[in-house]
Amino acid sequence: MTERTLILVKPDGVARGLTGEILRRVEAKGYRVTALSQMQATQEQLAAHYAEHEGKPFYAPLVDFMLSGPIVGIVAEGDRVIEGFRALAGSTEPTTASPGTIRGDLGRDWGEKVQKNLVHGSDSVESAEREIGIWFG
Ligand code: IDP
Ligand code: MG
């Protein structure tokens, strides 16, 4: 099977009307979108999705942020898509993310306890398969 990744457009991206711009970048890079759905995250989904971050200072603000509005779940497919989407997304902190990336071009710091950085992208094949299960069953 071709490699897959789970992308989430976070509530800030949806609220700012950037879903189309983010999808455009994924498709323009050459990846295939195989699932796409706007959803409202649940506490249970977020507890599973962000289990690795439980106990960190930004965990509760992160969960609250992800519950604050609709998100868009995307499954994208293509050789090395996991690495490729993380390169498109840019580094975690939008202030210093490279220009040319989603976070670097479209994101900024808003002085909050959680970095609102527009997108999530899986970081390994194992994470991707686990996360696709959480959001797409
Ligand atoms: P990633 O999304 O770049 O993979 P992770 O380390 O997996 O980053 O963190 C998950 C999310 O938690 C980030 O995208 C960001 O929204 C938030 N976050 C991570 N580290 C911090 C931090 O040090 N301060 C505030 N928020 C953070
Ligand atoms: Mg991560």
* Ligand 1 centre distance from Cα of residue 115 (Å): 6
Are the CB atoms for 119 and 7 separated by under 8 Å? yes
What pLDDT score does 61 carry? Answer: 98
What pLDDT score does 1 carry? Answer: 79
88-121 residue pLDDT tens: 999 999 999 999 999 999 999 999 999 999 999 9
pLDDT of 45 over the 90 cut: yes
104-113 residue pLDDT tens: 999 999 999 9
What pLDDT score does 106 carry? Answer: 99
Residues with active-site annotation: 120
Pick the ligand that lies closest to the CA of residue 91.
1
> For ligand 1, is residue 103 a contact (CB within 6 Å)?
no
> Predicted confidence band at 71 (pLDDT cuts at 50, 70, 90)?
very high
pLDDT of 23 over the 90 cut: yes
Atom of ligand 1 nearest to the CA of 10: 16
The answer on whether 10 is annotated among ligand-binding residues is yes
Task: Identify which of 102, 115, 131 to mutate to test ligand 1's pocket (most ligand atoms within 8 A of the CB).
Answer: 115
Q: Side-chain half-sphere of 44: how many Cα atoms within 13 Å?
A: 3
What pLDDT score does 97 carry? Answer: 99
What pLDDT score does 69 carry? Answer: 98
Task: Identify which of 58, 59, 66 to mutate to test ligand 1's pocket (most ligand atoms within 8 A of the CB).
Answer: 58
What pLDDT score does 54 carry? Answer: 98
Are the CB atoms for 105 and 13 separated by under 8 Å? no
Residue range 66-86: mean pLDDT, rounded: 99
* Ligand 2 centre distance from Cα of residue 11 (Å): 16
